Structure 1
Amino acid sequence: MFPKKALRHVPAVVAGLLAGALVLSACSSDDGGSPTQGIPGAAQNNQQGNGGAPAQPINLTIAPAGGKNVNPATPIVVKASNGKLVDVTVKNKVKGTVVKGETAADGLSWTSSEPLGYGATYTVTAHAQPMGGGDAVEKTAELTTLQPDKLANPNMIPAPSSVKSTGIGVGQPIVFQFSYPVQNKAAVEKQLKVESSPEQEGGWYWIDDKNVHYRPKEYWQANTTIKVTAKVYGVDFGNGVFGSEDREETYKVHDAWVAKADGNTHKMKIYKNGDLVKTMDISLGKGSTPTHVGPHVISDKHEDYVMDSCTYGVCKGDPNYYRSHEKWSQRISNDGEFVHENPNSVSAQGNTNVSHGCINLNGENAQWAYQHLGIGDVVEVTNSGGPKLPLWDLYGDWELSWSAWQQGSAIK
């Protein structure tokens, strides 16, 4: 340090050099506060492309945050700022299995691509590197998914495998039957989707707490392809019940078969794609046990079937009780109505209604109907003297007008 008096005699050039040295000293840092300290190459990076500004520290975030009672259907998302992801590993802590995921093209995020399990703990480990290179940083987290009290299966009717080779008829509703009651119907219904080709208007109706049906405004068009999706895994059904799995199934509608049974003429006319192909003599239900009026849908078929009225509450001791073997039987309601052969009523077929509610045919006609009609085909009954087929009576869906059907949706 020069004495103050001597400094006044220093040549101007030397004084200028001293002043420059003081300025350089003031711009340096010796307190260890640089944000890039300890990152190799950071000082060099500060001078490239950012005008000398200090590099920002890498920030890694892992979501969902909290780590407890995580919904297993919620994707895990890892994001990096001021750096790019090198790798992300999500591992089941007990099983050791690794969850699949994908890193975005820009390297700034990673998202899991498969659901987690219920009641499981996962460890998340992420590494990211500074934009300009250097040592990677690490962040870890642990999360546990929720454990439901019960899991509801989304069972489908008809079972897709049972109609894969035959297809379904134009009257067949799409049915989800859940294994536990659904309290949060709107939340579940929002995850159910039906796509038809060609496109047709349709909607859902909750028959009860376990059963929801989908039908189009009119009968399905012949040869329609129906794609059904249920994204219910992780959905809260209410009362501690959650969806057990997602489902995606495809149905194919076959030709349009509609049978029209008239209680006044005692004839049943059968149409294929709108063309009349067969007319049969029939006998409907007698006055004390009339056949339900309105559209019915074939739900089951048996070449040889034991019909027992006790299955729907009419048991021994009741004058209307019966138990008999019948051939070529096709169920059209759950309370005992079938289209089937009845050799005992052949003399009445074509002129009198004498059955317990079924549509009786002779052997030849019953076999023909059995071989040509199938699951989902329609049998429309008129002039039977009976009440309308109840909505719940598998399937009374077509008894409702379209506006009334729409009221059965839980989404308002």
Structure 2
Amino acid sequence: MNTQARATGAPDALLEGAYRKAIFRLIPFIFVCYLFNYLDRVNVGFAKLQMLDALNLSETVYGLGAGIFFIGYVLAGVPSNLALHKVGARRWIGTLMIAWGALSASLMFVKSAESFYLIRFLTGVTEAGFFPGMVLYFTHWFPSERRGRVMALFMSAIPISGVLGGPLSGWMLNHFQAGQGGLAAWQWLYLLQGLPTILLGFAVYFVLHDGVAAVKWLSADEKNAMQKALEDDERARRAGNTAVQSFASVLRNRNVWMLGGVYFSIQMGVYAINFWLPSIIKSLGFNDPAMIGWLSAIPYLVASFFMIAVGRSADRRRERRWHLAIPMLMGFGGLLIATVAADNPVLAMIGLTLATMGTLTGLPMFWPLPAAFLGSAAAAGGLALINSLGQIAGFLSPYLVGWIKDATGNTHVALYILSAVLLVGAITVLSIPAKTVNR
């Protein structure tokens, strides 16, 4: 019998049916929202292929513009998540999505480095509350033992955004290259990928609910069973003395800062791939935007299947550390292969695929760790703090790669540095006591 079902006295079928309903009702819509969240965040990697020449911008300017998004993201992360905790996910997330969709589309009006920096910074401010808000939102629906697969389903939107976004962006750059409507192809890309986010933001007001008690599609028995499972999960963490219960204690807890460092190392690899994959593929000898788009989809497609499989394995085995450390080591090895085999397109693509599989899978495999010891009182601020620490990599990673590429003419040194950071992060994960996180 299911552990949660035993604790509540509810039959297995009742609780399992309630969770299936919750996943079916919530995850597909949240998945689509996150898909466009990530697409709006990283489509500058494709726009760059034409935008830099059109505006006479350097690789360093691009790297700084791509990364400055995360300064706004980090500054707004904790306040935004605390606001969500106060006003509710439905109203706060909907408002944020409308704002960042409008800002993302407005990148089409960029004329200078300064305007590029400003809009990217403001977009980071508005997007800051979405991801940690969703992690917090899931803690209001699913106990610890179920969050691995839920997070994997949710975060598979990242590789799927690459699978769909790569070919779509490449097609847009080719299709609109004649300058239809007085706009360049890269401007059409920003416009057409930003507008759906605005529409989804309005849809949030009607689709999301702020907790189990607020929905009409669960029976009273199902609501009671799910709520009891959440309460039992919270008590189990407190009984094990692993739950940090206040935001003040979060700031004093070394594990929170250590996990922030681990998340930083994962994101250093993730954003190197997200912002530079099209350029790295182009450097392998592929110049057609459509071909670059299709080739960039391959690593993301493989990563999407790998991410879900690892998430299910982690929940089934109740093991967290190795299910995170091994993907991080794959990211380390993949970046090394892609760098060493830069003159061999096939081997380089294999390396990029391994790196994408490892780093992207590291994202959902990371989040059950802090959720395992952050109590409900600390979760809103604690999750946002860890996320903000990790997102510092979003500024450093693209800027570092751009600066080194301008200085050396290639990305080799930067990729060596990023692979080393992933290795240190994986070693740190394995230093965490298993009993602390294996739930």
How would you bin the TM-score normalised by the shorter chain? under 0.3
- Work out which structure has the larger RCO, using CA pairs closer than 8 Å and 6 or more positions apart in sequence: 2
| Richer in helix (by share) | 2
TM-score by length of 2: 0.19
